[in-house]
Chain A
Amino acid sequence: MLGVILNPYHLQIVSFILINIILGISIYITLSSGQLSLGNAGFMGIGAYTSALLTINFDLPIFLGIILGAVVAGVFGILIGIPALRLSGVYLAIATLGFGEVIRVIFVNWESITQGSIGLSGIPHMGRELFKTFSLTGFDPDMLGLKNNQFIYLLVVLTLLLVNILLIWFFIRQNKSRVGRAFAAIKMDEKAAESMGINITYYKVLSFTQGAILAGFAGALYAHVMAYISPADFAYHRAVDILIFSIFGGSELIWGAIFGATFMTILPEALRFISDYRYMIYGVVLIAMMAFRPQGIIDVSLLNWFKKKLKLKRGGSLGIRTKKYN
């Protein structure tokens, strides 16, 4: 029964959705302090290459590689974040876009290590490695009525799901904390926030670095799910894709990024039956969104409306609550 529902095709799509959600959150975090960064593809590349090279050349366990990938991306985030502080708006976007391209060109030209545009193959696959450990303990997927490759992808999806839940939980908590309020204040008005005693430098670099770490983390996961990466994966198309996740879903709320990443990953797959036209529809959807709902699909008022509905359905006998924003 389980074996019929868990089609590797669907599991594969779900695993891409989960990785894209992390990417969506990474741009949401930088946007939440009012900074538009297009360098997330570059940070993603740093994370992916770091983890891939460490696991290939030094036989590091995958989870350590992924963590180090995120850390290295974070270090670059601090290095870029501090000088980029002087820039805002479009100028920051251009500078970070340039950074992303520089990173890609380094991957292309540093052939002795990255193998240039041929790319790195033979990266240990997360699911297959997990499967090996499970096999050692004497576990056989047949006990659940699953085939080997179904089980491998199920493991990948479950791992990613766990990671996603933790991340989303963390960032929702953060948004309600002093840090989240500081981000929101800076986004609203930098000068006013500063006069209220918020350390702008600190919080801006913090949000930029958090974005970089998340992008690097997602990149490292991507490398171990695909088992092959090449510099073309981290070109500016990717930066734009990531930005679309958050902009489409709504950049005010973390749920916007999550919704955007999910929707934008499913859309091309769901439209497969019209083959040649699917990317046209993708474009039309984006244009329609920009025209009719420039703030993104999910915004605060939609969320409140939804909550009210939910409350009414439950009977709404809990009395008046104070409004909550997450």
Chain B
Amino acid sequence: MRNSLKKVYLLISVLMVVMLAACGEDNTNTSNASENSGGPVSAKIGVISYMTGPGAAYGEAITNGFNLALDEINEKGDVKIELVIEDSAGKQDQAMTVAQKLMSSDDIVALLGPTLSTEMNVVGPEADINGIPIMGTSTTAAGIPQIGEYVFRNSIPESLAIPAALEKAVNKYGVKKVAILYGNDDLFTQSGFDTMKAEAEKMGLEIVTIETFQKGQSDYNAQLTKIKDLQPDLILASALYNEGAVIMDQARKMGIDLPFVGGNGFNSPQVIEIAGEASDGLIVATPWFGEKDDPKVQEFVKKYESAYGHKPDQFAAQAYDALYIMAEGLKNAGEADRDALRDALAEIKDLDGILGKFSFDEDGDVIMEPTVLIIKDGAFQQFE
């Protein structure tokens, strides 16, 4: 009895020693590779993503996008990237701890994520102080890249998307009066509203009313009745797709057949699924259009679909491009060094991705031409 126990202990300790040795070897390997300047640059990049909790679908799309790009990049062999993916559960404090974890490991040269703008507001300043480049792939709120010079993003902010959509809609329909409807308890929709209001005022449109709603609300008749009475030419709705689709449905039932202009959060195929025919006439500007007549885009869609069984959304596409941007930065930097990578990233210009031609401005924000789409006959189409 005692003997067999002893054997078990021995076995366990041997196993542990082997595991430890394996870990150690792994470490020396990577450090050797990064010192070796002759071969391709190899680097570890930390990913902070929202993978458990109510918004886990975003995190999943994002990590799928990263993984797809990762395989392609490593296959090409210009740079060798390893991703260390960590979950933040959509909470600021978890995003912060996990960012600390990633940042304190010296061989991680950059961070991708976190998913939410609220998380970025906490993690961004810390990354900036520690001098590690961080790039948000889904953070669209105003003021994110302005946090510091190490903070970047490749997701087009509301301040770029909404004006583009609004301008095209106004020109097409000869709009003079608009009504605004927005969710006031969410960072995303609130910041979309701020842009809408500023832009409408700049374009000299008359804002007939501003109505608010809350997350998870199911009855919008009060707001819509008021809007109907005021007879605007266009409705600006800063809503996430779950609420937005319901709003469109109720508006159409009430006999409002005006076009809607939405923000980034409204842009989802789910709108068509939820609202059906009622979703016709929704205009959004997006960096991502899966039906675009571009071989690169079509190849990505095909690959993504065969790997994960469904069509990629905007978040997957942005993540995919983000890793390519990082790879380009690493290649230009020529070494796995945080500061060198930051400088290389800042200089990226007209990089061809599946979203289009991509450049950073002096703050680390996106310069890009978004595509304006409209839902017509139950499908997204390019809006001319």
Contacts and interface: CB of A to CB of B under 8 A. Distances in A.
Interface in A226-253: 226-228, 230-233
Contacts of B96: 12, 226
B51 A119 contact: no
A121 B121 contact: yes
Given A108-B185, A272-B87, A13 B97 contact: yes
B184 A226 contact: no
Contact of B93 (A111, A117, A153, A226): A226
Given A12-B97, A118-B190, A119-B118, A231 B185 contact: yes
B104 A8 contact: yes
B104 A230 contact: no
A268 interface: yes
B121 A117 contact: no
Interface stretch (B22-30, B122-130, B308-316): B122-130
A325 interface: no
The listed residue with most B CB atoms (<10 A of its CB), out of A105, A231, A272, is: A272
A224 to B, nearest CB: 13
Interface in A5-23: 7-9, 11-13, 16
Interface residues of B, number: 31
B141 interface: yes
Nearest to B53: A279
B250 interface: no
Contact of A117 (B97, B98, B143, B184): B184
Contacts of A269: 97
A8 B127 CA distance: 12
Contacts of A125: 125
Nearest to B86: A272
B190 A228 contact: no
A149 B122 contact: no
B52 A279 contact: yes
A187 interface: no
Contacts of B129: 128, 149
A317 interface: no
A116 B184 contact: yes
Contacts of B279: none
A78 B93 CA distance: 30
Nearest to A226: B122
A135 interface: no
A272 to B, nearest CB: 7
Contacts of A279: 52-53, 89
Closest 7 CB pairs of A and B: A9-B101, A9-B100, A12-B100, A228-B121, A8-B100, A108-B185, A12-B97
Given A275-B86, A276-B87, 19 more contacts: A7-B104, A8-B100, A16-B93, A105-B185, A109-B184, A116-B184, A117-B187, A119-B118, A121-B121, A121-B143, A149-B130, A227-B125, A228-B92, A228-B122, A231-B185, A268-B94, A272-B86, A272-B98, A276-B52
Interface of A: 7-9, 11-13, 16, 105, 108-109, 111, 116-119, 121, 125, 128, 149, 153, 226-228, 230-233, 268-269, 272, 275-276, 278-279
28 contacts: A7-B104, A8-B100, A8-B104, A9-B97, A9-B100, A9-B104, A12-B100, A109-B184, A117-B187, A128-B129, A149-B129, A149-B130, A153-B100, A226-B92, A226-B96, A226-B122, A227-B122, A227-B125, A228-B92, A228-B125, A275-B51, A275-B85, A275-B87, A276-B52, A276-B87, A278-B87, A279-B52, A279-B53
